[in-house]
Structure 1
Amino acid sequence: MSGPECCENPPALSSWSGHGSVLELGGFNTYVSGPPTSKRAILFVSDVYGYEAPNLRKLADKVAAAGYYVVVPDFLCGDPYTTDKPLSIWIQSHGTEKGFEDAKQVVAALKDRGISAIGAAGFCWGAKVVTELAKSDNIQAAVLLHPSFVKVDDMKEVKAPIAILAAEIDKISPPEIIKQFEEILSSKPEVDKFVKIFPSAKHGWTVRYNVEDKAAVQQAEEAHQDMLDWLTKHVKEWFK
């Protein structure tokens, strides 16, 4: 069970709600950004704080500006984690197993729209959901950012090209665990991989950074670029 570290630095919600819009996709309220005619989609799976977090939506808009149709579903169904309740209680009704089943519905809905290539990026809680997608044939590429709940054995089953962006200061997925992930992936030459541990970064740094802290912003943006580079490399339109 992930400790309270994954719940540190909750995002500061604001009236800003992104450049995209919210619509229904696969049965979920979903923040969408980018050209709806694109044949390439990126699925974001949020951390426990949900799909309304401003930094997450800003990142969705950034990826959308590269030509992708970016979707951020509300897999927490209007009930993101709040610090006034124990995480152990909240997680009982917000398991990653259900998140994976929900994500498959959204992937199916994207394919029904004519999307030919899909990448997925998961943050903290969402990283486990994306790992499960990467073990199936649902997506063309995966990115895990400061993952929670992901186990070493999960890496043995990964099929999709996978990038893991991790923090040096992270009790949930510490560097020694990340290195084990990398070792297993290295034994699977058929699976392209990219593993990077960010010095002095803390769990959640890619979406729960202080926008007034220039160093924190710079480090988050470095991870964002790594994510986008990986998606650009692997999420390519398939023509049938």
Structure 2
Amino acid sequence: MPDVSIQSPDGSFGAYLAAPASGKGPAMIIIQEIFGVNANLRAIADKYAAAGYFAIAPDLFWRQEPGVQITDQTEAEWQKAFQLYQGFNEVKGVEDLATTLSFIRQYPGVTGKVGCVGFCLGGKLAYLMATRTDIDASVSYYGVGIDKDIGEVSAITKPLLLHIAGQDGFVPPDAQNAIKEAVAGNFLVEVHVYPERDHAFTRIGGKHYHDGDAQLAHGRSAEFLAKHLG
């Protein structure tokens, strides 16, 4: 399906939109890593569409460089990705996601609830969507920097699923423990830790990809979303 344009108070930005074959159903916002709305992220959106969701992946780097689509396969791309990450305004990013949430809720055919799923940078933003918006359910894969805003846990009013890589090079043990302690006892938050996995263990083609735990995590996400968006 062609990209769509979303109007925000600061200008318009693009998003990839994949629709379910039925033409109706709930929706998912697919939140990017530091590589932009690349082929891998679009493939994830397509899988959600095949599962019956409208899947929309907004371009969150548009203020710096619209249309970023890079991979994790070369050093030069990694350097560019980190530059974009360092220049990223997290507050504005969440605002763009909230705008995307409003857009997709009104999109023709969207008849159910709306959730989000994010990876890496997107994993942090999925957490912030749970604390700062009224999105119906959020899934975070190995979010980087959640511990810095862990004080927002009390603002969560809708279900949140956290996938944590136990050997995550970007989320050290102290940060992981802070997250787990903060959400302990919160019935809205479900946490799964993958003790032997490193960051981005579900990124197909990535250095740390692990098929077994990737499929386990995706299965848990599917069950969680079916429960809360169905």
Matched, 1:222 2:216: yes
Report what 1:101 is aligned to.
Answer: 95
SS of equivalent residue, structure 1 residue 48:
coil
Letter in 2 for 1:83: W
Q: Trace 1:204-219 onto structure 2 (pairs within 5 A).
A: 204-210=200-206, 216-219=210-213
Q: How many Å separate the matches in 1 of 2:43 and 2:81?
A: 28
Q: How many Å separate the matches in 2 of 1:127 and 1:70?
A: 16
SS of equivalent residue, structure 1 residue 147:
coil
Report what 1:42 is aligned to.
Answer: 28
Report what 2:78 is aligned to.
Answer: 83
Q: Is the 8 A contact 1:143 1:163 kept in 2?
A: yes
Report what 2:50 is aligned to.
Answer: 65
TM normalised by structure 1 equals: 0.76
Matched, 1:125 2:125: no
| Seq. identity, % | 24
Structure-2 change in CA distance of 1:188 and 1:65 (3 Å):
same
- Report 1 or 2 for greater relative contact order, CA contacts < 8 Å, sequence distance ≥ 6: 1
Report what 1:5 is aligned to.
Answer: none
Q: Is the 8 A contact 2:33 2:119 kept in 1?
A: yes
Q: Which of the residues 51, 56, 66 maps onto 2:37?
A: 51
Kindly tell me the number of residue pairs found equivalent between the two proteins: 211
Q: How many Å separate the matches in 1 of 2:197 and 2:78?
A: 22
Give how far 1:32 is off: 1.6
Give how far 1:208 is off: 4.7
TM normalised by structure 2 equals: 0.79
Q: Trace 1:10-49 onto structure 2 (pairs within 5 A).
A: 20-26=1-7, 27-35=12-20, 37-49=23-35
Q: How many Å separate the matches in 2 of 1:86 and 1:161?
A: 30
Q: Which of the residues 144, 155, 166 maps onto 2:140?
A: 144
Structure-2 change in CA distance of 1:198 and 1:29 (3 Å):
same
* Structure 2: gaps (5+ residues): 71-76
SS of equivalent residue, structure 1 residue 135:
helix
SS of equivalent residue, structure 2 residue 145:
coil
Cα offsets for 1:50-75 (capped at 9, x unmatched): 11132x32222222222111111111
Q: How many Å separate the matches in 2 of 1:84 and 1:137?
A: 32
Range with bigger deviation, 124-133 or 75-84:
75-84
Q: How many Å separate the matches in 2 of 1:28 and 1:208?
A: 27
Q: Is the 8 A contact 2:116 2:126 kept in 1?
A: yes
Structure-2 change in CA distance of 1:186 and 1:28 (3 Å):
same
